[in-house]
Amino acid sequence: MIPGLATRRRFSDLSEQEVLALAISSEEDDARIYRSYAERLRGEFPASAAVFDGMALEEDGHRQRLIDLHIARFGTVIPLLRREHVAGFYARRPSWLNETLGLDAVRAEARGMEEQAAAFYERAAATTQDAATRRLLGDLAAAEAGHIRTADGLTAAHLGDDARAEEDDSARRQFILTWVQPGLAGLMDGSVSTLAPIFATAFATQNTWTTFLVGLAASVGAGISMGFTEAAHDDGVLSGRGSPWKRGLASGVMTTVGGLGHALPYLIPDFWTATTIAMIVVFVELWAIAWIQNRFMETPFVRAALQVVLGGALVFAAGALIGGG
């Protein structure tokens, strides 16, 4: 038995009072989510924060009207009923996951919240045979659809084309500073710095398993080192580069991936087959680095390719010479 599952009730078993209580608690939760979005965005994206402030106020208004309706029909005591108490009811993303969303994802999440709620009430209204309950659910669906129109109106009022473009540019810059730059640095370090030890071991021993173990150790070790270095050397407060753990994660993971790319072929027992594939992988890695530099850092592709390929070729040659000697 899954804990908590047996205590959940089906939506179809709820009374009209309980449906209304569920709607009230849902409006309260959504208002709280919108305010958390607004607070998180206020510093960097004030126009979007104003939109979510307005949406939270709209949720407060709908909640108050629902409370007034409950008082008129059932009295002042509202049953305690929340989403998690009802089997199959739509859920919301936990707050700690919301904190990781980017600007576009927050906008999409907010619109999805309203569409999800409206669609749920419409489906629920279509399945009930009780006229009063059907009318209540239809009113709730209409209220949620009204939220979507209100959100569009608030966006038009607070987030004009210029403000939206400015916030989108700011979000893109933040994405590059927090994820792309550390990840690119890690990929370059993992792809290039591990070339010498891996290929030196390969040509010195011509043992694929030993080469793989050296490559695995070099990649994982470099990833851990790069991740901690990136996270520790800048907390992001003054530089504006974002969360240190996000940057450390991006740098560490991409460093490990960059090294493992040309270490994994040495799981193949045949030495020359593994080495040929590893060389091809190195070529792909270096061109991927050049593409990322061109795509996100606006470095001319030819210049980026020459720099990366030349550097990689020199490190590879050093490893091959040392191992062959």
For residues 113-123, average pLDDT: 78
Q: What is the pLDDT of residue 1?
A: 34
Highest mean pLDDT among 40-44, 85-89, 188-192: 188-192
| Three-state SS letters, the chain | CCCCCCCCEEHHHCCHHHHHHHHHHHHHHHHHHHHHHHHHHCCCCHHHHHHHHHHHHHHHHHHHHHHHHHHHHHCCCCCCCCHHHEECCCCCCCHHHHCCCCHHHHHHHHHHHHHHHHHHHHHHHHHCCCHHHHHHHHHHHHHHHHHHHHHHHHHHHHCCHHHHHHHHHHHHHHHHHHHHHHHHHHHHHHHHHCHHHHHHHHHHHCCHHHHHHHHHHHHHHHHHHHHHHHHHHCCCCCCCCCCHHHHHHHHHHHHHHHHHHCCHHHHCCCHHHHHHHHHHHHHHHHHHHHHHHHHHCCCCHHHHHHHHHHHHHHHHHHHHHHHHC
Average pLDDT of the chain to the nearest whole number:
79
6-54, pLDDT tens digit by residue?
Answer: 578 887 788 888 888 888 998 898 889 889 888 888 877 787 788 888 8
Would you state the pLDDT for residue 320? 72
The reported pLDDT for the residue numbered 271 is 92
pLDDT above 70 (res 77): yes
Q: Which tops the pLDDT comparison, 97 or 65?
A: 65
pLDDT in tens, 208-255: 999 999 999 999 998 898 888 888 766 665 555 667 888 888 889 999
- What pLDDT score was predicted for residue 69? 83
Query: Are the CB atoms for 83 and 26 separated by under 8 Å?
Result: yes
